[in-house]
Structure 1
Amino acid sequence: MIDPHVHLRDWDQAEKETLGHGMEVAFRCKIDELFDMPNTNPPLTTEAAIRKRLKDAAHASQDVRYHLWAGVTSDLKQVEEVASLAKTLFPSVIGLKLFAGHSTGNMGLVDEAMQRTVYQTLAKVGYEGMVAVHCEKESLLKSDLEDAHDFSSHSLARPVEAEVASVFDQIQFSEEAGFKGHLHICHLSSIEALRGIEEAKRNHRRISCAVTPHHALLTTEDAKDRSLYAKMNPPLRSETQRSSLFAALLQGRVDWIETDHAPHTLVDKEAGACGIPGFSGLLLLVKQLIEHGASPALLTQLLGGRILQVARLEEREISIPSYDQLSDLSLAASLAYPYDSFSKLRLR
């Protein structure tokens, strides 16, 4: 299986996870290809950092195919340089990542004029690869509704409207800029945003989207249980949103599943850090999709087939664990981390 959205930490965050640990756990879960995100510390925004990360990953595991997303910043020269580097180092550098809202790592480009300029710059230099986007519109966030003692309040502070508006912004800004590349919308948490992406597809845009295990399986009700530490960006949503996204997966309306695997220490989570380990949840989601009638062909597309097409990687077999293996593998994966947001679901 392929997981195209992970945060493997390491370097100045090695206490959260190392490349070796994350890749080992992934491989035990039958995930043999990973796309790592750039909000590391230091971030993957320079040629030196990117080349060092690729070298470190090669030393960390011989079992897992490793790629990374290079981060873009507000420095337009850096955008040009990293776009050129993505061409040179493809497929090791699988594409670019734009944070259209702040999240872990504080790499957000929240100014809309700057977002437009990034797409204009990419169009000017002829970049036609992938740009993955974290969509949350900063001006629609409501930080005053955040209650540090109630993780479910995170969904009030970062409402659905912020995601939907940002998705529509990215579609509009990239089109107006003449961007010829592929736009990927990360970790959808709302069915309304999916409808906007489907409209863009009907208009022949190069665009894709993904759903995470936590947005397909968990809700704000789960976030009320503090022991699950179920706080992430974008947040968990209502049962209506969750069930709609799960149905969309079964209907083949979503391009792929991505975990947004993002481990922290227990101390960090107690302090409100956003992000949860995702490999355990991925296996539980596959199990539930099978129980709801997902065909082998659909699962193959969701867990690697479509990613290979969009990323323009060489076609290969996507191997998915058997139904009987999924629960045991998920439990084993959860034991690799100091907390498990999917534990309640496993007992249902």
Structure 2
Amino acid sequence: MSILLKNGQIIKRHGLEPQEILIENGTIVAEGSRLDNNANNEIDLHGALITPGLIDMHVHLREPGYTNKETIVTGAKAAAHGGFTTIGAMANIDPTCDTPDKFKAQVSRNQAGCVKIKQYAPVTEGRAGHAPIDFDAVSAAGAEVFSDDGAGIQDAAVVYKAMKQLAKLGLPLCDHAQDAQLSFGGVINCGEASQRLGLPGMPDISETAQIARNLIIAQETGVHYHVCHVSTKESVELVRQAKRHGINVTCEVTPHHLLLDEDDITEDDPQFKMNPPLREITDRQACIAGLMDGTIDIIATDHAPHTDEEKQHGFLNSPNGIVGSETAFALLYTKFVKSGLWTLQQLVNWMSINPANIFKLTNVGQLNVGDPADIAAFDLANDEVIDEKQFFSKGHNSPFIGTRVSGMTTLTLVDGEIVYRRATDEQ
């Protein structure tokens, strides 16, 4: 089976240049302009941007245990709709995959997805935060990334033991940094919005105190410490200084912490409820600056679907999180690239190339002859309105619904197979 992608554009040093890509048996075999071919299938991209398939190392697929919110099939389709070809699935599922057998069973379930799924194993047994899992056994079963995401690990001794063992294996600990005792039951950032709405606030220190603690432990153990969804200016500065001191730390930021802050919360609307919460404008600006100076390494969506019913009960009684797989690239392109603050290459680096490098993913994040044909194409020329009726995710919980954007996905290929194609482009 062969496919020719024609009338596309790729990023070059001096801007966008025309490009055709020939794919045979799932592999890129030729690139250039006006390729000679006898392809079984020619796809006209109508000038769309061609990139390596995007990589999102922080999603919640909810299966098993919470399939009313999402399934592996729907979550993978949502990722493909957003141009993602590889995703990292967090372990806050029920049961979690904290033993070799349960991990292998989860990897087997993930085969139902139409994109490549890198499965996280938890750091602690049952994600309870009390005892590290058997890292040797679970890594031998195939686990390469570990996180208790959804909750911070409160016991420093547990973090120390886990980091020592993961350092020996050369594998990362990915941390939801949150000190529960310093969160004070907050459901929104502790600031102007919490006061105005009369809601309990979560102070910045709930995040930064745990990052500071864990950076010291990471320095002692030598582990690769990856901080999930940083949200405060103090967190960014802690990571910046840690990198300067040679600590093996990387971190991520979400699209919503780059695009929104607490000033955007005008009423008790749980579509704006997430953890960590939307912070002050100075925190959002620090996250943007941190990306641009290399302190923050990647963008990850923290795609967190919930049912429509669950998200109807205000900040106090609705769950944390928003969906992000299907809107991330377009929102960021529209806000930051079209405005001239970022280049297209920077955006692709943060959403594809850097995640592949940081997590040592092989055969992804590239667009060269001989590579697997994991490819995304985006319509930069036309605007669309984000419409939850177009979502493949079961979750519609997003504050961005109704936003007009450029850069929506037109085509996604995984190993040369079409896993998403915009309906208006289908022949």
What TM-score, normalized to structure 1?
Answer: 0.84
In the alignment, which residue of structure 2 is the partner of 1:264?
A: 306
Equivalent pair of 1:190/1:241 in contact (CA under 8 Å): yes
Find the partner of 2:219 among 139, 156, 175: 175
Task: Note if 1:302 corresponds to 2:350.
Answer: yes
Find the partner of 1:94 among 127, 144, 147: 144
2:354 is aligned with what amino acid? Answer: R
Correspondence list, 1:284-299, <5 A: 284-293=331-340, 294-299=342-347
In the alignment, which residue of structure 2 is the partner of 1:338?
A: 396
Task: Note if 1:253 corresponds to 2:295.
Answer: yes
**What is the aligned length?**
329
- Give me the whole-angstrom Cα distance separating, in 1, the residues matched to 2:389 and 2:224: 32
Task: Note if 1:165 corresponds to 2:209.
Answer: yes
Structure 1 window deviating more from structure 2 (71-80 vs 8-17): it is: 71-80
- Give me the whole-angstrom Cα distance separating, in 1, the residues matched to 2:279 and 2:326: 20
In the alignment, which residue of structure 2 is the partner of 1:42?
A: 95
Larger relative strand fraction: 2
Q: Which has the higher contact order (CA 8 A, sep 6+)?
A: 2
Equivalent pair of 2:170/2:224 in contact (CA under 8 Å): yes
Larger relative helix fraction: 1
- Give me the whole-angstrom Cα distance separating, in 1, the residues matched to 2:209 and 2:404: 34
5+ residue gaps in structure 2?
Answer: 1-53, 368-374, 406-427
- Give me the whole-angstrom Cα distance separating, in 1, the residues matched to 2:377 and 2:131: 41
Task: Note if 1:279 corresponds to 2:337.
Answer: no
Q: State the Cα RMSD in Å.
A: 3.0
Equivalent pair of 2:123/2:133 in contact (CA under 8 Å): no
User: 1:162: Cα distance to partner?
Assistant: 1.3
- Give me the whole-angstrom Cα distance separating, in 1, the residues matched to 2:385 and 2:353: 22
User: 1:29: Cα distance to partner?
Assistant: 1.5
SS at match of 2:153: coil
The verdict on how the C-alpha distance between 1:87 and 1:298 changes in structure 2, with shifts beyond 3 A counting, is farther
The verdict on how the C-alpha distance between 1:192 and 1:325 changes in structure 2, with shifts beyond 3 A counting, is farther
Structure 1 window deviating more from structure 2 (206-215 vs 220-229): it is: 220-229
The verdict on how the C-alpha distance between 1:333 and 1:131 changes in structure 2, with shifts beyond 3 A counting, is farther
User: 1:88: Cα distance to partner?
Assistant: 4.5
Residues 37-93 of structure 1 deviation map (CA, whole Å, 9 limit, x = unaligned): 0111211222222111111111x13x411111110216999735234422551xxx3
- Give me the whole-angstrom Cα distance separating, in 1, the residues matched to 2:129 and 2:69: 32
Correspondence list, 1:7-156, <5 A: 7-58=60-111, 60-61=112-113, 63-73=114-124, 79=132, 81-89=134-142, 93-99=143-149, 103=150, 108-123=152-167, 126-143=168-185, 146=187, 153=194
Considering only CA atoms, is the larger Rg found in Structure 1 or Structure 2? 2
SS at match of 1:32: strand
The verdict on how the C-alpha distance between 1:85 and 1:146 changes in structure 2, with shifts beyond 3 A counting, is closer
Task: Give me the identity figure in percent.
Answer: 25
In the alignment, which residue of structure 2 is the partner of 1:317?
A: 366
1:300 is aligned with what amino acid? Answer: V
User: 1:279: Cα distance to partner?
Assistant: 1.9
User: 1:202: Cα distance to partner?
Assistant: 1.3
What TM-score, normalized to structure 2?
Answer: 0.69
Equivalent pair of 1:211/1:256 in contact (CA under 8 Å): yes
2:146 is aligned with what amino acid? Answer: L
- Give me the whole-angstrom Cα distance separating, in 1, the residues matched to 2:362 and 2:93: 27
Residues 231-250 of structure 1 deviation map (CA, whole Å, 9 limit, x = unaligned): 11111111221123123334
5+ residue gaps in structure 1?
Answer: none
Equivalent pair of 2:254/2:300 in contact (CA under 8 Å): yes
User: 1:264: Cα distance to partner?
Assistant: 0.6
